């Protein structure tokens, strides 16, 4: 497949791959690729379809686990999200682990760098987006009514959204749970939220 795409292939000793990727389970194959380019927020905004087109944007409120980030990226791409917003600081960024966890989806969806979570929420509101944060303290169930067509879905760590993010979101919803667990993994919660939006768009089309 690589040769057919014009990508050079080199056979080397396993020990060389171990040195090349010391922190990864490479399974005998390693690819050297350019770093994932982070898109400027306003450049991203320029490419957002205008009103009234339905658009999903996902904002991660300082999610630090690279496996969670990779899984969220993979689902976001599957749900045709317009982009994924990541804070520059105190958050996981696209590393090799994220690329692997996303099954390559990180190269197929805009990954956007933001300076401030609350400012991004406010700026997208000015562009017609309704922000919904997922948190266990939400008074309203995620499923009680359809999600807005132009949705900014805000996801936090397993401990929940930050206080400022909750204050700036238009609405906080919870995912109903009947078991004894207090919360869901961030990537699981994000996937449920994204597919709830996607499901409504699919049923309409």
Q: Indicate the range of 67-71, 86-90, 119-123 predicted with least confidence.
A: 86-90
pLDDT of residue 81: 98
Q: To which residue do tokens 């994932």 refer?
A: 36
Structure tokens at 22: 């010391």
- What is the pLDDT averaged over residues 127-151? 97
- What is the pLDDT averaged over residues 18-45? 76
Confidence label for 162 from pLDDT (cuts 50, 70 and 90)? very high
pLDDT of residue 35: 60
- What is the pLDDT averaged over residues 107-113? 96
Tell me how far apart the alpha carbons of residues 145 and 133 are, in angstroms, rounded to a whole number. Answer: 15
Tell me how far apart the alpha carbons of residues 112 and 110 are, in angstroms, rounded to a whole number. Answer: 6
Helices (H) and strands (E) in the chain, counts: 7, 8
pLDDT of residue 33: 64
Tell me how far apart the alpha carbons of residues 124 and 85 are, in angstroms, rounded to a whole number. Answer: 11
pLDDT at 28 over 80: no
pLDDT of residue 7: 75
Query: What is the pTM assigned to this prediction?
Result: 0.86
CA atoms within 13 A on the CB side of 156: 23
Tell me how far apart the alpha carbons of residues 202 and 198 are, in angstroms, rounded to a whole number. Answer: 6
Average pLDDT, the chain: 90
Confidence label for 30 from pLDDT (cuts 50, 70 and 90)? low
Tell me how far apart the alpha carbons of residues 107 and 28 are, in angstroms, rounded to a whole number. Answer: 22
Per the rule left: phi > 0, alpha: psi between -120 and 50, beta: everything else, 106 is alpha
Taken in order of first residue, the domains within the chain and their CATH numbers are 1-32 (no CATH), 35-204 (3.40.1280.10)
Would you give the DSSP letter of residue 35?
A: P
pLDDT of residue 127: 95
Torsion over CA of 80, 105, 95 and 182, rounded to 10 degrees?
60
pLDDT at 88 over 60: yes
Torsion over CA of 64, 120, 125 and 52, rounded to 10 degrees?
-80
Tell me how far apart the alpha carbons of residues 87 and 32 are, in angstroms, rounded to a whole number. Answer: 26
Q: To which residue do tokens 């909750």 refer?
A: 166
Would you give the DSSP letter of residue 61?
A: S
Percent of the chain with pLDDT over 90: 68
Selection from 189, 77, 78, 85 nearest residue 129 by Cα: 85
């Amino acid at each position: 497949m690589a040769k057919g795409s014009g990508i050079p292939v080199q056979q080397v000793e396993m020990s060389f791959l171990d040195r090349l990727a010391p922190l990864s389970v490479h399974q005998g194959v390693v690819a050297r690729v350019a770093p994932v380019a982070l898109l400027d927020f306003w450049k991203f905004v320029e490419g957002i379809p205008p009103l009234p087109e339905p658009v999903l944007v996902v904002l991660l409120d300082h999610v630090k686990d690279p496996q969670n980030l990779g899984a969220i990226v993979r689902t976001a791409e599957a749900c045709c999200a317009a982009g994924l917003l990541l804070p520059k600081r105190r958050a996981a960024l696209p590393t090799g682990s994220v690329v692997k966890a996303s099954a390559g989806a990180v190269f197929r969806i805009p990954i956007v760098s933001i300076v401030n979570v609350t400012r991004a929420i406010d700026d997208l509101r000015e562009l017609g987006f309704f922000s919904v944060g997922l948190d266990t303290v939400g008074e309203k169930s995620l499923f009680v009514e359809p999600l807005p067509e132009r949705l900014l879905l805000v996801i936090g760590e397993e401990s929940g959204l930050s206080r400022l993010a909750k204050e700036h979101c238009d609405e906080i919803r919870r995912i109903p749970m009947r078991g004894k667990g207090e919360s869901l993994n961030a990537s699981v919660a994000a996937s449920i939220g994204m597919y709830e939006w996607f499901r409504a768009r699919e049923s309409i089309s």
